[in-house]
Amino acid sequence: MRHTTLAIGFIAAMTAAAGTQAAGDAAAGQALFKAKCGICHSPVAGQNRVGPSLFGVVGRAAGTAPGYNYSAANKGSGKKWDDATLDTYLTNPKALVPGTKMVFPGLPAASDRANVIAYLDTLK
């Protein structure tokens, strides 16, 4: 019984820690977005640059931002941009969507990805 209680406590603690990291820091994410993503992407609705506007990206189907000319790979990926998919994509965009036009190599630090995703979650 004691081992079961300890295991449940450990699982609960790990889940809480993972949830905290996944939540990220939107303010830190905004700064990272400006430094790493803002060169090509705008957080403003309808304002496409070299890349599409990322306003409303969370929950949107890949390849569907109005007025942006996506690669066939992105349009046909069948992806929906939720937090988990964004995390995988931001780790290595070309691995998740081979043939994407995005040349950004990715964000290796999980905390940076969590922060950027937390910021993207605010763009509604």
- Two tokens at 85? 């998919």
How many other β-carbons are positioned within 10 Å of the β-carbon of residue 61?
12
Determine, yes or no, domain membership for 11: no
> CB–CB of 44/55 below 8 Å?
yes
What CATH number does the domain containing 55 carry?
Answer: 1.10.760.10
Instruction: Assign 98 a pLDDT band (cuts: 50, 70, 90).
Output: very high
Per-residue pLDDT at 117: 98
Determine, yes or no, domain membership for 77: yes
Which residue type, as a one-letter code, is found at position 25?
A: D
Determine, yes or no, domain membership for 5: no
pTM beyond 0.85: no
Round the CA-based radius of gyration of the chain to a whole number and report it.
17
Determine, yes or no, domain membership for 41: yes
Determine, yes or no, domain membership for 112: yes
Instruction: Assign 61 a pLDDT band (cuts: 50, 70, 90).
Output: very high
| Number of domains the chain contains | 1
71: containing domain: 25-120
DSSP 16-70: HHHHHHHH--HHHHHHHIIIIITTT--SSTT--SSS---TT-TTPBTT--TT---
Each residue's pLDDT tens digit, 37-46: 999 999 999 9
